[in-house]
Amino acid sequence: MRSETDPPPKRRKRKPKFGDTRHLFASLREHLASGTASLPDIARLVAEGLGANGSVIYVTRPGEILELVATFGLNINAVGRIRLRVGEGIIGMVAASGDSLNLADAQNHPRYVYRAEIGEEAMASMLAMPVKRAGRTLGVIGVMSREARVYSPVEVESLATVAMLLAEILSRAGASDVGEEGFSETLPRRYAGHVLSAGITRGKVLPYGAAAPIARLLTDDPAAELKRLDDAVESANRNLDGLISGALPGGGAPRDVLEAYRMVTQSSGWLSQVREAINDGLTAETAVDKVARNLRERMRRIADPYLRERLADIEDMIGRLMVALGGMAPKPARADGYILLVRRLGPADLLDWHARGIAGVAIEEASPSGHAAILARALGLPALAVDRGAVDAAQKDEPALLDAEGGTFILRPEPEVIQVYDRALETRSVRAAALAAYRDRPAITRDGTEMQLMLNVGLAMELDQLERTGADGIGLYRTEITALAAGGIPDVAGQAAEYGRVLDRAGQKRVQFRTLDLGADKLLPGESGNGEENPAMGWRSLRVGLDRPAILRRQLRALLLGAQGRPLSIMFPMVATVEEFRAARDLLEAEAARIRPAPEILEAGTMLEVPALLFQLPGLLAEADFISVGTNDLMQFLFAADRGTPELSDRYDTLSSPVLELLERLVTCCQEAGVPLSVCGEAAGRPLDAVAFAALGVTSLSMSGNAILPVKSVLVEADLNALRPVLRELRRAGAAGGSIREPLAAWAREHGLAI
């Protein structure tokens, strides 16, 4: 028992709870403010704050070396003596990959490297985090515990925030930048990619979306930071108002479009997470950046394309917030000739950048069926989905080459590579000049067959292609593209104005309007995919219109009003039965009976995309005024091959026996019934496919604007009478279902066709 003369017992300091981020950040802020903070102090505070038994801080040195500069709970004599190569051990692996590692049993990890002098034998678990500044890895910070445990998400986030703080300190401590995978920032970097919109361009790169280093990470006045956040949200929403009302084709957008965007950007709860981080002691821009990084990591692990697509909308708002907070530079007023390099991109933002003059775009997180890809193709803008890391590796104004045909993005290309591409671009320019001579030439083959070449477009701004290409009309006007770009379906007046402008620009040339083809991979903000396992064959296109007739009736009314008595051709997508087509046509006729002036001619046709219609041809041909074969969807349904799966993209071919047999039978039936037939889609825009279709009797093809002149140049040189027996023989030889593309291409080249 203690006597009265004994000194009072020393009170033990209360250790902070595991993951007590508020206490940890407050301690760090206190030490930094005093000017006495050192790397060993930070190592100690982090270990104590996260309830760890030890910690290490490594700094990158020239030659891709990682040097131990501070430790806590381990052998202090190892500081300055332990060196690892980038990629060596767990620490080196984190530096090389730029990703954290959270290991409950670190010593049994295959990349673990034992160094006796550091004294980490008793440590079981490890959490290692890269220290990055403007995308460059400056070092690694790690914490270790004796017990085997996985660090919680809160602890991981806390260490990530400390790593942000360390980045500024390490840059002053002489750390050398280590680009992702250890490459020097002056060497060429090549990124493989998937083509979103074809084209090749060369110019300076403009990376956008990577936040600049944040000058002030911690705060002792959360209330003031919350006020800054609220002001930034208000400013960002005003900016979004201006974008949606002024940057979209066709003028202003209805108020519900803006609300749809806001529902996506504010309903996920991520702003609440930002406020929580501010209350923990982070500045507003630090909190936004922290939550954004966590969100990106989570979304990268989600396979659902709808949820991943929604991230583009949220990142758009995050970027606007960072600009308003001063944590990111605003967009330049002009970006003429630049190659935009971004992590993700929404459709409205792509329109904004296109208006600023970009020559191409490389996107780290994108899919060929995403909204930005659809819009890039509509705009004729070269676009590529590139491997992760490109945004962080690039600096503004560095030279870059975007090959959205070969699927490669090259940052800082070698002079020899530039020369090769320049020669290719020069050859392409010469070819383009030669093709221009075909603009006013009729598409008549050598044997006298008259062909009709039509455009596929989806925005009023694309209509100048009618004059540029000499196309015979618009075989497919995608009415959903403007809705996707705007984030919502315009009201009747807005739609009617758009359709009227299209008809005005087309003049006497035919326009075939396809009704809204939404659903599957084309979802508006705020709508869900209903958890369909196979959305391509789910509730989409005309099925939505028939189940929600008010939407379809409003669009049909808008088309009739926009026509103002002129001839009007309307095409229904994704028709599976004659009954569906008849129901849609009945809705059209009911609306037409109410509109004055009535169209001079009113035609109702169908896309033929669902194979089931092939077995209902007599009934369909008795009802439809025209038929357009949608090769993109028809191919995926015919071969049960998702067109968005890269592994299947080259497995099934339009120039194979099943497809050619189908088209030949369809041509015969349509000719006998007197119903015009056209072939629409990517296949129609390939010169070799177009010639083969023409030999089968197809006389109308609808394609993108970039394909019109190359297809015409081949058709006018083709003798279909000479080709037909060759095609029959090749089909007979490939009757087992294989493609005849290679032998047909060889024959075409032998006969002087520029395939």
CB count within 10 Å of CB 672 equals 10
Residues 45 and 96 in one domain: yes
Cα distance between residue 82 and residue 44, in whole Å:
19
Per-residue buried b or exposed e for 53-92, using 16+ beta carbons within 10 Å of the residue's own CB:
bbbbbbbbbeebbbbbbbbbbbbeebbeebebebbbbbbb
Query: pLDDT tens-digit profile of 56-68?
Result: 999 988 878 899 9
Over the stretch 397-418, which tens digit does the pLDDT of each residue have?
999 999 988 888 998 888 888 8
Do residues 48 and 163 both lie within one domain?
Answer: yes
Q: Residue 240: its pLDDT value, please?
A: 60
Q: Which of 292-306, 312-326, 524-538, 708-722 has the highest mean pLDDT?
A: 708-722
pTM value? 0.58
Q: What is the pLDDT of residue 346?
A: 72
| CA proximity to 360, closest of 205, 468, 192 | 205
Question: Do 145 and 202 fall into the same domain?
Answer: no
Q: For residue 667, is it within any domain?
A: no
351 in the same domain as 232: no
- Give the number of other CB atoms < 10 A from CB of residue 680: 27
Q: Give strand ranges (E) for 522-652.
A: 568-572, 602-608, 627-630
Q: In what order do the strands lie in the sheet with 54-61?
A: 83-85, 65-72, 54-61, 136-145, 125-133, 101-103
Q: Are residues 248 and 318 in the same domain?
A: yes
Q: Please tell me the predicted confidence (pLDDT) of residue 577.
A: 94
| Confidence class for position 170, pLDDT limits 50, 70, 90 | low
| Residue 250, pLDDT score | 41
- Residue 377 is predicted with a pLDDT of 79
Whole-number Å distance between alpha carbons of 400 and 410 = 6
Counting the structural domains of the chain, the total is: 3
**CATH number for the domain harbouring residue 348:** 3.50.30.10
For residue 639, what are the contacts with CB-CB under 8 A and spacing of at least 6? Answer: 651, 652, 658
Residue 542 is encoded by which pair of tokens? 């005309």
Q: What integer best gives the mean pLDDT of the chain?
A: 81
State whether 28 and 154 are in the same domain: yes
Boundary (domain end) residue, out of 367, 397, 424: 424
250 and 102 belong to one structural domain: no
Do 38 and 152 lie in one domain? The reply is yes
Q: Is residue 145 domain-resident?
A: yes
110: CATH: 3.30.450.40
Q: 371, 405, 424: which is the final residue of a domain?
A: 424
Report yes or no on 290 lying in a domain: yes
Tens of pLDDT, residues 458-515: 877 778 889 889 999 999 998 887 776 555 678 899 889 999 999 999 999 999 999 9
Q: What is the pLDDT of residues 201-235, one digit of tens each?
A: 999 999 886 655 566 778 888 899 899 888 888 87
Instruction: Spell out a b/e string for 98-124, using b for 16 or more CB atoms within 10 Å of the CB, else e.
Output: bebbbbbebeeeeeeeeeeebbbeebb
Question: Distance between terminal CA atoms of the chain?
Answer: 101
Estimate to the nearest angstrom the gap between the alpha carbon of 223 and the chain centroid: 37
State the Cα–Cα distance between residues 84 and 88, nearest whole angstrom. 6
What is residue 427's predicted lDDT score, i.e. its pLDDT?
Answer: 78
**Tokens coding 349:** 């933002």
The verdict on residue 469 lying in a domain is no
* 724: region left, alpha or beta (phi > 0 left; psi from -120 to 50 alpha): alpha
d(CA 602, CA 584): 14
On whether both 224 and 323 belong to a single domain, the answer is yes
Same domain? For 73 and 171 the reply is: yes
Residue 586 has pLDDT above 50, yes or no: yes
How far apart, in whole angstroms, are the C-alpha atoms of residue 152 and residue 710? 58
Instruction: In whole angstroms, give the CA distance from residue 195 to residue 404.
Output: 5
CATH number of the domain bearing residue 227: 1.10.274.10
Of 197, 567, 587, residue with least CA distance to 362? 197
177 neighbors 60 (Cβ within 8 angstroms): yes
Residue ending a domain, among 370, 397, 424, is 424
Question: Do 133 and 220 fall within a single domain?
Answer: no
* 649's tokens: 């993209």
Name 635's Cβ contacts closer than 8 Å, sequence gap at least 6: 641, 643, 652, 654, 659, 683
What residues make up the domain containing 200? 186-208+336-424
One-letter amino acid for residue 586 of the chain: D
Asked whether residue 62 falls in the same domain as residue 178, the answer is yes
Q: What is the pLDDT of residue 158?
A: 83
Concatenating the DSSP letter of every residue in 138-155 gives EEEEEEEESS--PPPHHH
Span 645-676, pLDDT tens digits? 656 666 778 898 889 999 999 999 999 999 99
